[in-house]
Structure 1
Amino acid sequence: MKEYEKTLKALANRRRLQIIKYLKDKKQGTVTEIAGHIKLSFKSTSKHLAVSKHLAVLFSAGILDKEQKSLSMFYFVVEPLPKIAKHVFDII
């Protein structure tokens, strides 16, 4: 039950849903690419921090994973998804 709660809390945010949709479409992305896509209205440094926080929540919930390639960290949606997340993903 706690796993469902953690997953649903991670998904209960408009920005995080935008991040997930972007990563579903593009397969992977860096913080800079994701920040540019969701168009946060903060200055550059704050924008990256906000996106990093959202990515950390999604990573902690087991929805995203990450891989270091050279100097960049790439985020992607995990396979297989947690069951409850898959149901939500099918809707968005």
Structure 2
Amino acid sequence: MADAKQEQNEQLKRWLGSKTELEPSVLKKKKTKVKFDDGAVFLTACSGGDTDDAKKLMGRGSDINNTNVDRLTILHQACIDDNLDMVNFLVEHFANINQPDNEG
């Protein structure tokens, strides 16, 4: 399983040389660095089964019960992915097992 940082690096490699990256922009002139917010990194860590990164991010304040636009939590996604190890990890760290999604 890839860790969250490795997954992000792979995304950045795919972005380099893409049409979007080659477009002139104000951001490129400022030499800004792409940075993912902790919520996105936390989701990536959990999706990849990286409990060490997930613990670090929770320690920095990442919300284990954060939801996406469909009100799916990371626990919902772990169940959908049939990732029992991550389900156990999330439940042990007090993920809300009663959080409804947008369909209830």
TM-score, normalised with respect to structure 2? 0.30
Q: Select the structure of larger CA radius of gyration.
A: 2
Structure holding more helix per residue: 1
TM-score, normalised with respect to structure 1? 0.32
Structure holding more strand per residue: 1
Which has the higher relative contact order, 1 or 2, with Cα contacts under 8 A spaced 6 or more apart?
Answer: 1
